[in-house]
Amino acid sequence: PTRQLLPIGPQSLISRVARIHDAVVIDNVDNSERAYSELLPTTQSAILVPLLDNDRVIGVLDVQSMRPNVFKQAEQQALKLLASQLATAIRNADLFEQQQHSVLENQRLLEESEHSLGEISRLNSSLTREAWNQYMFGRHHLSGISLEGNKFTTNAQWTEAMIESVKGQQPVVKRKDINRVVATPLILRGEVIGALEIETSTTNDDIELELVDIVEGVAQRLAVSLDNARLFEEIQETSYNEQIISGLVTEFQAADSLEALLKTALEGLSSSLGATSGAIRMKQASLNTNYAMLQPSQPATVMNGHNGNGSNGHHQNGTMNAQHDMAPKTPPATDDNTGGIA
């Protein structure tokens, strides 16, 4: 078959069929109507039937014959039925193509969602691991607790069952003499934060399976509760730190001089942190960025002391110095160059 593009002008038969939404039958083609089909110059009769999708014309079925008066009523009805079936097939093909496009788009979105969920899961796992590492760094006494009879003891030793359950990230059942040991990892957002182990004298296999389910369920909820407790403690610590800082800032605002402000800062840190000594150094503009000019071996002048000229707040090496002994003090002895903060 030959493919041919036909120009469709406002006066063409195809345009006419599309406008009236009905078939056009030509029993005997004259010279004026022959121009619409230069590809088939021997055409003597033709019928053009619209392809309708509801009220929308999606095409035109153009059937031509080399004989005049061919398309009688029966042929017209048959071709209209064929046009209707063809329109339905085209509509179904379009719907199938749209559905295929939707399936591919949904598949793409699903893959993107799975990738995003994987990234979120990895991020949550990383954040959980980092948070618990930081939390446990200064809390070595929380490394483990054991219950023997009615007595709790601190114990950081991991049992063989615990290690095996953590490696496999699933419950493990082992025999210990006549008892059975059930160990399961404490998993939080894909990250193992510990392990739970229970030893029981149960020997019934059915009860053993039930015991494993119970221990695993408790471990899952315990991991979440442990994380909530960690967050609560960290919030309390943050709140306490903010209170300390806020209290010091309030005292800073009440200071009426630079010397008083420096003293307030050191005394406040001493009281809050339990420090035994502290110092503040004020850089002068004349130093620029050459900190090598500061010589630690030279004696630093302490604010509120006295120098040889009787001046107060002496500048040494271009810096203003403030030191505070944060340990309990007795009245210090002073010489010509230094003095303690009272």
Q: What is the mean pLDDT of each run of 10 residues along the chain (342 residues)?
A: 63 84 86 59 88 90 90 93 94 94 95 92 89 77 80 87 93 85 92 91 75 92 92 86 87 88 88 84 66 51 40 43 48 41 38
Q: How many other C-beta atoms can be found within 10 angstroms of the C-beta atom of residue 237?
A: 10
Return d(Cα 84, Cα 93) in angstroms, integer.
14
Spatial contact of 136 and 142, defined as CB atoms under 8 Å apart: yes
For the chain, where do the domains classified as CATH 3.30.450.40 start and end? Answer: 13-98, 142-238
Right CATH number for 13-98 from 3.30.450.40, 3.40.50.1110, 3.50.7.10, 3.30.420.130? 3.30.450.40
Q: Which residue has the tokens 């063989």?
A: 160
Q: Which residues contact 157 (CB under 8 A, 6 or more apart)?
A: 144
Q: What is the pTM of this model?
A: 0.50
CATH architecture of 142-238: 2-Layer Sandwich (3.30)
Helix (H) or strand (E) holding 122: helix 73-137
